[in-house]
Amino acid sequence: MPPLGRIQIGFQTADWPGLKAGKDARDHVEAMLGSFSIEITIVDGASARRAAAVRARTALKLTDAYALATAIHAEHNGHDDVRLVSFDKAVLRAHAELRPNRSPPRC
């Protein structure tokens, strides 16, 4: 499997038990992921609305809807190296349905 390259991740610090919100949480996550080429995006109102729209159309779990919404948003912003990788066939199916003019994601 080729290297993953740049990965975009959206997260909320409230989802990390035991971590304080803000700079401490961000620094901890960045340190954990530092060996990868990963872009971290903070969950804001716009990304929450995109995830809610994906969830409403697909009935995916909220965490999966965030991942899918983040991938689709990156594609729409011109990133041609976006790959959504999942073992969950429902996520892959939803990805294909929401972006029918693209090649299918990998399992």
* Domains of the chain: total: 1
Contacts of 88 (CB under 8 A, 6+ apart): 64
The CA–CA distances, whole Å, from 73 to 10, 69, 77, 79, 98 equal 11, 6, 6, 9, 11
Q: Does the residue 74 lie in any domain?
A: yes
* Three-class SS state of 42: strand
Full residue range of the structural domain in which residue 64 is found: 6-98
Asked if pLDDT for residue 75 goes beyond 90, the answer is no
Q: What is the mean pLDDT of residues 77-92?
A: 85
Q: Does the residue 104 lie in any domain?
A: no
Asked if pLDDT for residue 90 goes beyond 90, the answer is yes
pLDDT in tens, 9-58: 554 444 445 555 667 777 777 777 766 666 667 788 999 999 999 999 99
Q: Does the residue 1 lie in any domain?
A: no
Q: Does the residue 105 lie in any domain?
A: no
Q: Does the residue 25 lie in any domain?
A: yes
Q: Does the residue 103 lie in any domain?
A: no
pLDDT value of position 1: 40
pTM of the model: 0.60
Q: Does the residue 38 lie in any domain?
A: yes
Q: Does the residue 40 lie in any domain?
A: yes
Residue 102's pLDDT band (boundaries 50, 70, 90)? low
